[in-house]
Structure 1
Amino acid sequence: MPTENDFLAFAVGGSANVTSQTAYAANTTLTQGGFQSGIANSADLNKVWRQSSIMSAVLAQFIVARTGSPAIDDGTTATLLANLELSSAAVNGDSTKTFSVAPATASTHAVQFGQATNTTSPLALATTAATVANQAVNLGQLAASLASSGYLKIPVISGGVTRIFILQWVRNITATANGSGQATISAAFPITFPNAVLSYSYTPDNEFSSVGAQRIAAQSPTTSGQNVNIDGVTASGPCAISGLIVGY
């Protein structure tokens, strides 16, 4: 049985005595000044009542369809108003009870779902930086520089605390050995670690020379760089290192 809607359209029968829309719209004396004293035309009255009754019937049916609650004509407004407010929200899980919106073109507009998933849209749905495990990661938290010496940032949760894990690499950092075939190469990290260096690994490779070091020893790093001692290269010759450094 359909949910009750007491608000019925008036004078909607095929032979209803109702002024035509063309004549009603042209009668600006009536539409602007309303009915005056004297005898009113019944067809004009029916037109006015039909227009208002149709809209009230449609609005009431909208409330019924959206909320599943009846629209009762009992002379009160509180329940109808409450259900109207409820009906303006989409019903979760029911695709027939959702609003459609035009594509957003300004910051005050609702965003279509299609815009939120369209990577070319400047209005694509944005998220703040994730701070707990069940939040979406902001793409900005995955910043990287894919240069020969570069870095990659990855958001992680460590001990319940949000951290940005950073993997950095340096490639072919060169120096010139002294007369004994020794050198200290200063490797500046592409970016400074905000907190600490966790680990590192270097190789004495020289991309521009076939001569490699025989021994390598890294000094304690700072958050922005590290000195690496090498030995066993050609006296006064070129030398170089490459390496990986991780931290947060």
Structure 2
Amino acid sequence: MEKWALVTGASGGIGAAIAVALANKGYDLYLHYYSGEAQIDKLVIECEQKGSCAIPIQANLARVEEIECLRERMPRSPDVLINNAGLTHYGIFTDTSMEEIDLLYAVNARAAFLLAQLFVPSMIKRGFGRIVNISSIWGTTGASCEVLYSMTKGALLSFTKALAKEVAPSGITVNAVAPGAVAGPLLNRQFSANELEEIAAEIPMGRLGQPSEIASLVCFLISDEAAYITGQELSPNGGWHT
């Protein structure tokens, strides 16, 4: 039986790791990206080498009309939706512009809502569906100078809990993963090597997380073994915040 999964933001470190892990589990894939076409091309090849059908789909998730067009570019609706795409924002709260507020809300929160709205009806018809929203540790605890980012990622957690209750009778589970500091291009753009070492030193496990570790948790949440888990937030963060 074919199993299709949509991974948004698949050109990033965590998104690519999730895609590869799902390919290893036998899923066919829709690999969404906004930019990073070169990374997506490599990812498609890697997933296809594992026996998956991998279809790249470019879309700007900040634009409602482009989200609505996604379904037309898919042979069938996905059984699994991984809302991984997101933007970061670092800056003083009082300096945050309306444009930045609108953009982060659109990509980090509204897009997940609209994508679920788009694909949940087909999941209901099948009596099966899995949705995993990739939030952040800052969505749980909040972070100074990342107020906007924390707010949008916190909204994603509330969305997870509420939607889980609504769709549970239809055989659909909805969960969230809220990672701590994860090694990869995103952190490398934000922090210097010395700063990353300082962050790792603050974490009880003494290191950053790996994208593959986030992907493993996602795979568990969509598995048959996790069929009774819904509306939950799991935070792989090395004991940084408990």
Band the TM-score falls in, shorter-chain normalisation: under 0.3
From the two aligned structures, give the one with the greater helix fraction.
2
User: Which structure exhibits the higher relative contact order, with contacts defined as CA atoms closer than 8 Å and separated by 6 or more residues?
Assistant: 2
Bigger radius of gyration: 1
Q: TM-score, normalised by structure 2?
A: 0.18
From the two aligned structures, give the one with the greater strand fraction.
1
